[in-house]
Structure 1
Amino acid sequence: MTRTTLHEGWLLRANGGPAPDVLAGRDIPAQVPGSTHLDLMAAGLIPDPYLDSNEASLTWMHRVDWQYTTAFQASAPGVDERVELVFDGIDTIATIALNGVVLGRTANMHRGYRFDVRDCLREGHNELTVTLAAALTYAETAESQLGRRQRAYPHPYNAIRKMACSFGWDWGPDLQTAGIWKPVRLERWHTARLAQVRPLVTVDADGTGHVDVHLDVERAADRDYTAVVTVAGREERAAVTGDAAHVTVLVPDARLWWPVGYGEQPLYELTVTLLADAEAVDTDRRRIGFRTVTVDTEPDGTGTPFTFVVNGTRVFAKGANWIPDDHLLTRVTPARLARRIDQAVGANMNMLRIWGGGIYETDDFYAACDERGVLVWQDFPFACAFYAEEEPLWSEVEAEARENITRLVARPSLVLWNGNNENLPAYTDWEGWRESLDGRSWGLGYYTELLPALVAALDPTRPYAPGSPYSPGDLPPNDARYGTRHEWDVWNMLDYTHYRDHLPRFCAEFGFQGPPTWSTLTRWIRDQPLTPTSPAFLLHQKAGDGNGKLDRGLAPHLPVPDDFEQWHWATQLNQARAVAFGVEHFRSWWPYTAGALVWQLNDCWPVTSWAAVDSDERPKPLYYALKHAFAPRLLTVQPRHGRPTLVAVNDHDRQWTGTVSAARQTLTGDILATVEMPLDVAPRSVALLDLSDGLLTPVDPRSEVLTVAAGGIRVHHQFAEDRDLAYDPTPFTAEVTPVTGGYRVDVRATSYVRDLALLADKVAPDAVVDDMLVSLLTGETHTFTVRTAASLADPSALRHPRVLRSANAAARAEERPDKD
């Protein structure tokens, strides 16, 4: 088997539609893998669509057809040689021709294509053409034929098998990408090739690793074929009967793969070799991990749980939802994915949910999760819409699902296949949606018939869920007592304290918006003046009434500033507070509640959104709030039986013992009441500790705070909202000292300071601080470490009041003598 990539020498030209005159008859150098937007940007023919209001100026690209061409040298096929042209992914509606011969057409971004080119490959010069039709035009035509079905956004993204958010979302741009977005190559072979390798990896009750390799062979010659499988130094082989073989390898005492925080992640090399008359003709290599996974959905006295069980251990899922990390997908490198997964682990997450409006992620994503122990929940690509079950969609869905289930079947990190995102409640709960169908199909057959059947046949090693949210039987899909829940009333209409109104069994989506970091915001949005209602800022706020919800969510807790820079900080802080509030509530109810997946970890472009990490890879204050709220050990004050109660959460294999020290004191440091009590929390469990009336009964709620600490972990409990507290607006002093690789900022509290944050990127765009949202009592100190390659002319800028910020300043901004 020889494989030759065909990534060089490509040219792109507009092939029809409303392209500007500058593109007429013009060939533009193109990158493959790549996209039309990136090629036109590289040629200086369009501006960056992420900058200012450029997205709106590029809508003409929605209707343009494109043509990619390249030429390559090749030898003509031998008499007994097979030659195939392989595309791993095309975005999306394409006609492929080699030397003027049409090989086939594509209509699905989520799958690959293989074409036999023996009859048209020439000796020497060959010309390959990929003509792309406008996805929007195709989707509109398909919808007119299949019948209109409801969706959450204007374009008919549900009539085409393409990344749904390519057509715009409430956090993403409407660019409708096109291109050859994955590798393309020529494959040449004699005798036979491994057409499919599907390893099913399990662990027997006695600890023996069990690898069942199912493989399909495509023959070009009638030979005696043998499949050889090796793993962990053990080898097994079997004769290929017809076009298939099944080989089982047992690995005694296999080292188990565990989620991060539960153990190590050993990976084993698996090699599958195809022999023809004892000669190796094709080989497949990959890494596998031994583990078991189930989801406990056994009904109990309250409803139905949804608890992941890995290697027999029940796991609280701490994590976030994942969207494509760049709207222009081919810019997402393995290194960038590794950085993002590292950020998730750094925030104490153990799960990422790949959301159904995006893509099946690249192998690099799953490899990074395999290596780091991050559990992956994989949605099939259906989101917030009804989908026709008629042809040609049904066959396309089946083909993409078969391909991707097989591709990902051996990934130890992958722990759930999920049928869709929010399409079940769309049918039962969203006003007017069911009635609009008038009897037409809407996708239920995919979620309850096709997809579970494919998972059962191709990947019986891991569970399947019909959708998210989902409740069994005829129950409302978003019923908190059953299965998975999405909690969006808080963002859309309620104060974040209403997270406590529900006790979900597993919260798979919840979140609150905030703007990106200051450096990201000002790099991409250059309105003058920059305000929440300036044109480019509004174009980068995709949520309906997003700014109104930000202000209404802020007002009960902090004043809504008129100054934009103050508003930026206040809304970022409120986002962090809101989501951490929800996380702590959900974690406090373990094991009844078994998961909290925040919406969302990442952004795909610079935008005001729910993300913890913005599109320039900078962590927002929310990121640090999640790092604290998802910490292995957590103290949180929660209502129980009508009064505030201390909840100690121990997500650790070791017992948590020690002494709890609690104190009620004034903001200026006077101790009013103290209590000590023993702490003893079993591994992977939660304990409730009563707080005395003396701790919970302030004399002046505006001027007092309760702190509770144990084992270096502390929680601060206020008796009033920040806007009502008698904060000192300048409650600390700070000194900056250069150190190797950056700066040290030493802070001393002169009064109680809440949620101290060093917004280092405002001083140096590459600057990253080690922690944020730190609260200090009077007289306490804290050291921030800032990593940056910059040599600051004025290091004291790191303690400027608009860089070193706190909730005190946000609550009492009008009282600051240094207000600017």
Structure 2
Amino acid sequence: MSSLRSSKVLKQGWSFRQADGPANWLSVDSVPTVAHLDLIKHNVIPDPYIDMNELDVEWVGEKTWHYRVDLPEIPVSAKEKGSKVVLVFEGLDTFAHVRLNGKTILLTDNMFISHRVDITDLVSDNNQLEIAFEPALLKAREIRAQHPEHKWVGFNADLSRLAVRKAQYHWGWDWGPVLMTAGPWRPVHLEMYTARVKEVRVDYHVADGFKSAQGTISVDTEGSAGDNVTVNLKLAGQSVFEETLTITDGKAVASFTIPDVSLWYPSGYGAQTIYTINTTVKAAGHELDHHTQSIGFRRVELVQEKDDIGRSFYFRINGADVFCGGSDWIPADSFLPAISEERYRRWLKLMVDGNQVMVRVWGGGIYEDDTFYNACDELGLLVWQDFMFGCGNYPTFPSFLDSVQKEAVQNVRRLRHHPCMAIWAGNNEDYQVQEQEGLEYNFDEKLPECWLQTNFPARYIYEKLLPDVMSQECPDVPYHPGSPWGDGKLTSDPTVGDMHQWNVWHGTQEKHQIFETLGGRFNSEFGMEAFPNIQTIEAFVTKKSHMYPQSHTLDFHNKADGHERRIATYMVENFRVATELEKYIHLTQLVQADALMYAYRGWRRQWGQKRQCGGALVWQINDCWPGTSWAVVDYFLRKKAAYYALARVLAPIAIGVQREHHDWSVAHARPAKASHFHLWAVNSKMEPTNATVCLRFVSIETGSDIKPAITKEVSLVPNGTTDVLDGVIDNMAEEPHVLAANLSVDGDIICRDVDWPQPYKYLSFTGREVEVRQPCHGEVGVIQVSAKRPVKGLMFEERDGVTISDNAIDLIPGDEQVLKVIGLSGTSPALKYQYLDQ
């Protein structure tokens, strides 16, 4: 009788050693792992995240590392005719020579590819698996030297990285360290079976009325023992479709219809309904394998239609237009096995809690762990997925293309059942490299073979190889050749495609107050740096003498070129700069929060009814190590001020008030005689909402209203922008004042916005006082805050284990704000806080 497939994860019992080091083998806590983690555990190297230890561990990436493990005993039944014994390697980083009992069974050169190796005829009574990982850094340089015909150009790090299919950020980036990892970075399994479910593919169509779905479920099996397969589609444990099919040549296909389908929607637009497909292979009534896979039914469209601007670029999910406010995602650690499932979920829930609806998986990292996409499905977070190419001119020699083909097919197949998948893009900024380096690109040339003959051959990957894979493997998800890219036009063209807007911070270093004027049809990268919170700095700086803003260690933990000048520029232009570290941190976070607020607020307003801007993804949500970067949440998941600013701007209903920008530096600090201002509201709900809007004009000096407030009753346009009021400020006759707007629904204020005269450095904040009434200590409490004069950037400390509903807020006299707090126990001290010019 054939037995049920078994799969054992080879997690424990491993050991490792340096190939040219001591002969003794050291223990490994568990696999997945990489050499750095095991060396840290044995105190062979210091933690590279602390101080400047990164420099002391560079040698690790230049060595060969061996890992070995004894396989479990192979039962007699696994050696019977028709049975198979297979080793499964989900991910080996990167150049791996795999031996079983001294015999080579696998050679790898791509960390993004998984491998299945049939060892049925190789196993004996005692079996030892050994893997030698050669240094990708040195191998990459060898491969580059073998291809002098290629033009090796790009942004960031050693450009030999372009020759190797390894996470590109491991070579170092402008936000991360150089840590060249090696090891079994994803699980290793030992499988035994006579038949197994090889793959389950679902192709479906959601009907035009969005009430039903129909399609096919295709099952590929392996092994000769199975004769039928049962497919059962369930929702909340209840079967909605079931059929038993005969297996023919390893394949079986079932057609299905769900007349009252429950669709999957992104967060805020509907339910995140997940169905389950249970697939069982049997022979003579005996179960041989069981496979479970989730799926959500939805229709995703990338709307690119000609309009009076150029061509639109926005997403429509199940017929609903969605403004995709969100973030770009880099790997959450330089040591990938260190990212736990719980940590993934915390990151992604944090995004959804902050009213973000899309995350972009950046092309210099990895195709993320299944946990990542499962959480996005459950939370309703749309995924923009880059293929793993970033900031370079990639080669196209035959073995490279073969590897890329396998990589693309495997990962598209692995991820295609996730309803969160909204788009795949061919690369990150490779077309910008083409433009900057003057590489050949004739958009009108449509013969792929010709592209391979140019000095930009990677076009073949992005415009031929990858779209072919998508059309064959995942035709229902849009494909976009690159990010940014726009139908062959310049990547900076604001009328078409998506855009990376780096003329704030990089480039021409524009004032962040005009961010909204710099955008395109979809803004998939933009950003502003800020220091992390003081607790994070204390975690990686061990010398008290280095606890000042421009210390050697703090500079070392900021990898951005010219970051000193850029931070200084935006600080000096806007604030009276402090030198004490905690105040300096606060100011950098206020700059970041303001910059990103101007961007998101303006671009969401442009969503309007004409969809001038389809979305905004900030660079970046997270860090891969503790340091200063563009992240709005630092490595330890401590939120910066910008996180809260974005959450307010991206709320389902948000109000905006803004006076026109007066460039004080160009005007030689001469004030504008008058300033026009605009007041509007945005609403992502699908129905009109009746609201009351109030605009106050509050003196910065005294806190008094300098003229009567304006109150209007409005009906907010569904899924769009409602213009409420335009006005003019007479700067010669009126004292400096803030424009304080709020919006009420059924008498409750649900959103606020405050517009300040710019720059803050010209304003006097003397005499500010904030009244803070902290909660009665308990699991859930409130903080009540108020002020008699306008206060900028009241920021409570980010304490681990404590969640606060809002932070980094502006206070207006007469408008007490109540913040909810979770996790502040009775024995905890009150939260510390600071505000501008405290």
- CA-to-aligned-CA distance 1:513-553 (integer Å, 9 cap, x gap): 00111101111122413223322211100000112211101
Q: Shift in Å at residue 792 of structure 1?
A: 5.5
Partner of 2:136: 135
Q: What is the distance in 2 between the residues matched to 1:614 and 1:692? A: 39
Distance 2:429 2:734 in 1: 42
- Contact 1:200–1:410 (Cα < 8 Å) also in 2: no
In structure 2, the residue matched to 1:495 is 511
1:683 aligned onto 2:718: yes
Aligned-partner Cα distance in 1 for 2:694–2:574: 28
- 5 Å-filtered alignment, 1:535-554, equals 535-554=552-571
Match of 2:32 in 1: 33
Deviates more, 1:660-669 or 1:443-452: 660-669
Alignment CA distance shift 1:456-1:371 (3 Å) = same
The correspondence for 1:259, drawn from 259, 263, 266, is 266
Partner of 2:652: 632
Residue 406 (1) aligns with residue 413 (2): yes
Q: In 1, distance between residues paired with 2:343 and 2:781?
A: 25
Q: Tell me the CA shift for residue 395 of structure 1.
A: 0.9
Structure 1 partner of 2:296: 289
Shift of 1:444: 0.8
Report the Cα offset of residue 731 of structure 1: 2.6
Shift of 1:735: 4.0
Contact 1:490-1:498 within 8 A present in 2 as well: no
**Alpha-carbon deviations, 1:694-743, whole Å to 9, x = none?**
xx334566632222222112221223321112323533233445410387
Quote the offset at 1:439 in angstroms.
4.0
d(CA) in 2 for partners of 1:230, 1:605: 42
Distance in 2, matches of 1:353 and 1:117, equals 39
Q: CA deviation at 1:500?
A: 3.0
| 1:456 corresponds to 2:471 | yes
After superposition, give the CA deviation of every residue in 1:13-46 in whole Å (9 maximum; x if it has no partner).
Answer: 0013xx6xxx454434352111111111111211
C-alpha distance in structure 2 between counterparts of 1:476 and 1:737, whole Å: 54
Shift of 1:199: 1.9
Match of 2:629 in 1: 609
1:589 and 1:746 map into 2 onto residues whose CA distance is 34
> CA deviation digits over 1:381-428, x for unaligned, max 9?
000111111122111111111111111111011111111101012102
Q: Report the Cα offset of residue 788 of structure 1.
A: 4.5
Moved more, 300-309 or 524-533: 524-533
Indicate the residue corresponding to 1:671 in structure 2.
Answer: 705
Where do 1:627-776 residues align within 5 Å?
627-638=647-658, 643-667=676-700, 668-673=702-707, 674-693=709-728, 696-698=729-731, 703-711=736-744, 712=749, 713-741=751-779, 745-761=783-799, 765-776=800-811
- Say whether the 8 Å CA contact 1:4–1:186 is kept in structure 2: yes
Measured on the aligned residues, the alpha-carbon RMSD in Å equals 2.3
Shift of 1:327: 1.4
On the 8 A contact 1:703/1:727 being kept in 2, the answer is no
Correspondent of 1:588 among 605, 614, 620 = 605
Counterpart amino acid of residue 56 in structure 2: S
Q: In the alignment, is residue 94 of structure 1 matched against residue 96 of structure 2?
A: yes
Is 1:274 equivalent to 2:281 in the alignment?
Answer: yes
- Cα shift at 1:790: 6.3
Secondary structure of the corresponding residue to residue 588 of structure 1: helix
Rounded Cα–Cα distance in structure 2 between residues aligned with 1:789 and 1:704: 36
What CA deviation, in whole Å up to 9, does each residue of 1:431-462 have, x standing for no partner? 68999x99445411111001100100011111
Secondary structure in 2 matching 1:739? coil
Q: Partners of 2:181 and 2:533 in 1: how far apart? A: 26
1:157 aligns with 2:157: no
Deviation at 1:576, TM superposition (A): 1.0
Residues 27-36 or 550-559, more deviating: 27-36
Match of 2:205 among 202, 206, 223: 202
Q: In structure 2, what is the Cα distance between the partners aligned to 1:483 and 1:597?
A: 14
Asked whether the 8 Å contact 1:172–1:604 carries over to 2, the reply is yes
- Amino acid paired to 2:812: L
The answer for the alignment partner of 2:82 in structure 1 is 80
Number of residue-to-residue matches in the alignment: 788
Q: Whole-Å Cα distance in 2 between the matches of residues 248 and 461 of structure 1?
A: 17
Match in the other structure for 2:643:
623
Q: Deviations over 1:783-810 (max 9, x none)?
A: 44554566657x36x3xxxx4212343x
The superposition leaves residues 208-239 of structure 1 with CA deviations (integer Å, 9 ceiling, x where unpaired) of: 22242223222345x64445343443113433
CA distance in 1, matches of 2:269, 2:85: 47
Deviation of residue 429 (structure 1)? 3.2
* CA deviation string 1:190-223 (max 9, x = no partner): 1x322222222431235222242223222345x6
Distance 1:47-1:787 versus aligned 2 partners, 3 A rule: farther
**What code does the residue aligned with 1:670 have?**
S
Equivalent position amino acid for 1:549 in 2: R
Moved more, 154-163 or 651-660: 651-660
| Residue aligned with 2:146, SS | helix
Letter in 2 for 1:261: G
One-letter code of the match for 1:36?
A
Distance change in 2, residues 1:139/1:378 (3 Å): same
SS class of match (2:657): strand
SS at 1:672 equivalent? strand
In the TM superposition, residue 167 of structure 1 has moved relative to its aligned partner by: 1.1
Conserved 8 A contact 1:152-1:385: yes
8 A contact 2:98–2:104 mirrored in 1: yes
Report the equivalent of 2:63. 64
Q: 1:188 aligns with which of 185, 189, 192?
A: 192
2:197 aligns to what SS in structure 1? strand
| Structure 2 counterpart of 1:230 | 233
Q: Which runs of 5+ in 2 are unaligned?
A: 443-451, 662-674
Alpha-carbon offset, residue 778 of structure 1: 2.3
* AA aligned opposite 1:114: R
Deviation at 1:622, TM superposition (A): 1.2
Q: Which amino acid aligns with 1:566?
A: K
Matches within 5 A, 1:509-520: 509-520=525-536
Q: Give SS of 2:655's match.
A: strand
Maintained 8 Å contact 1:228/1:275? no
Q: 2:485 aligns with which of 436, 457, 470?
A: 470
SS at structure 2 position matched to 1:615: coil
Alignment partner, residue 482 of structure 1:
496
CA contact (8 A) 2:546 2:552 kept: no
Moved more, 138-147 or 63-72: 138-147
Render the CA deviation track for 1:584-640: whole Å, top value 9, x for unaligned: 011010121110111111111101011111111111111111111111111112468
Residue 277 of structure 1 and its aligned partner are, at CA, apart by: 4.5
Q: How does 1:418-457 map to 2 (within 5 A)?
A: 418-430=425-437, 439-457=454-472
Deviates more, 1:297-306 or 1:770-779: 770-779
Decide which moves more: 678-687 or 402-411.
Answer: 678-687
Query: Measured at CA, do residues 640 and 770 of structure 1 come closer, stay the same or move farther in structure 2, by a change above 3 Å?
Result: closer
- State percent identity of aligned pairs: 31
Change (3 A) 1:419 1:438: closer
CA distance in 2, matches of 1:774, 1:494: 25
Shift of residue 121, structure 1, vs aligned partner: 0.6
Asked whether the equivalents of residues 385 and 426 of structure 1 are also in contact (C-alpha less than 8 Å), the reply is yes
Letter in structure 2 aligned against 1:554 = M
Q: Does structure 1 retain, via aligned residues, the 8 Å contact 2:154–2:433? A: no
Counterpart AA for 1:63 = E
| Gapped regions of structure 1 (runs ≥ 5) | 810-820
Deviations 1:647-689 (A, max 9, x none): 2111112312233222213232322222222312221010112
Paired AA for residue 74 in structure 1: E
Give structure 1 regions of 4+ aligned residues with deviation exceeding 6 angstroms: 431-435, 639-642
In structure 1, distance between residues paired with 2:772 and 2:636: 28
Supply the distance in 2 between the matched residues of 1:640 and 1:56 (Cα, whole angstroms): 48
2:480 counterpart letter in structure 1: A
Is the Cα contact below 8 Å between 2:434 and 2:456 reproduced in 1? Answer: no
The one-letter amino acid paired with 2:348 is: I
